Amino acid sequence: MAAQTVLTSKINYPSKQHNRLRPYFCMPNFWLKLKKPIYALAPMAGVTDSAFRQICKQYGAEVVYSEMVSATAIVYNSQKTLALMKFNKKERPFVVQLFGAKPEHFARAARIAAKEIKSDGIDINFGCPVKKIARQGAGAVLMNNVKLAREIIEAIINNTDLPVSIKIRSRAGSTTALDFLKPLADLDIKAVMIHGRSVAEAQSGGVDWQIIKQARQYVKGVLLANGGVKDKISADELLSKTGADGIGIGQGALGRPWIFSQLVARNSQPITKKKIFQIVLKHAKLAEKLKGQPGIIEMRKHLCWYVSGLPNASSLRQKLIKVASVDEIEKILR
Ligand SMILES: Cc1cc2nc3c(=O)[nH]c(=O)nc-3n(C[C@H](O)[C@H](O)[C@H](O)COP(=O)(O)O)c2cc1C
């Protein structure tokens, strides 16, 4: 499809008729069907690709998010961007996260996500602190522009029947999550994930439990707390301090996708080295199957995360960072 065609074609308002033909998890609103507490794999750019999402799903993640995808790039038919949204049905429910600054691009991207990608939900990134994204007027800077944020959310709600969720920060400059959510409380937002760190704190630092708890008054749908979950103790603490319906797990799943099974099954038994190596190989084979050799190159960072904490981690890392095939990984791990 030419970019021009995409940009100028009319935005229709879809009928609800086609929902009858959709599988279970495609039915709106999947968020209500999830068992609580909900353990979600949080979106992570360069990390939460289909291979990693499938592994996390297999270990008990209830819902998985894509990495953030540019709404504008989707509208311009960027094949690289469209590839980021592809998923396997095993990942359902699967949420595509969009970032951008133009409501009309979100409208079109949402329709593509719903009709062509067939994701189960659409999330909007209002929390990314990265300068490159901020320069486009997207991500966390939108928390300081509620009017435009509302237009973006409405553009998606009015152009798809998929459940719309948002991911925000506890604070962006002088705007708190409460300042942001209050004027949006009338919108049909099905889920809100609040990363309990301010924009200034980026991905580390203390998590503001209080603000997540207070946000409940403005959230009609599912409330997910996010930040700092590394194990069952930190997960339980975040849930109890915030009263959230679930949690988003980011860095705690890096090299440890089995964290979900430990949370879901409430099983804190340490995983054996042998089991870790089996998971690594499964992940690597999947990455290669889905992306070919570039999948293995991208896999290198995962390999380093997987072996961190093992007794010979440093020497393993030095070898794993150079691998170019599944065979090489297998030899090193043996
Ligand atoms: C490498 C990396 C990439 C990230 N990419 C995204 C992203 O694409 N969209 C988003 O909303 N948040 C992104 N985040 C933020 C995470 O979703 C999450 O909010 C953050 O890491 C805090 O949770 P944690 O303490 O469990 O890691 C990213 C974080 C990391 C570490």
Which one of 243, 264, 285 terminates a domain? Answer: 264
Residue to probe by mutation, ligand 1, list 203, 242, 259, most atoms within 8 Å of CB: 203
φ and ψ at residue 300, rounded to 5 degrees = -55, -40
CATH number at residue 229: 3.20.20.70
Residue 48 lies in a domain: yes
151 with 246, same domain?
yes
Rounded Cα distance between 323 and 306, Å, is 14
111 with 132, same domain?
yes
Question: Which structure tokens are listed for 35?
Answer: 């068992």
**Ordered per-residue pLDDT tens for the chain, 334 residues:** 333 333 333 333 333 333 334 443 445 799 999 999 999 999 999 999 999 999 999 999 999 999 999 999 999 999 999 999 999 999 999 999 999 999 999 999 999 999 999 999 999 999 999 999 999 999 999 999 999 999 999 999 999 999 999 999 999 999 999 999 999 999 999 999 999 999 999 888 899 999 999 999 999 999 999 999 999 999 999 999 999 999 999 999 999 999 999 998 866 678 899 999 999 999 999 999 999 999 999 999 999 999 999 989 999 999 999 999 999 999 999 8
249 with 324, same domain?
no
Active site residue: 26, 56, 128, 304, which one?
Answer: 128
- Rg over alpha carbons for the chain, rounded to the nearest Å, is 20
| Position in ligand 1 atom list of the atom nearest CA 229 | 26
Identify whether 128 is a catalytic site residue: yes
256 with 278, same domain?
no
Domain count, the chain: 2
110 with 131, same domain?
yes
Inter-residue contact 248 to 224 (CB < 8 Å): yes
Q: Give me the domain span that covers residue 324.
A: 273-333
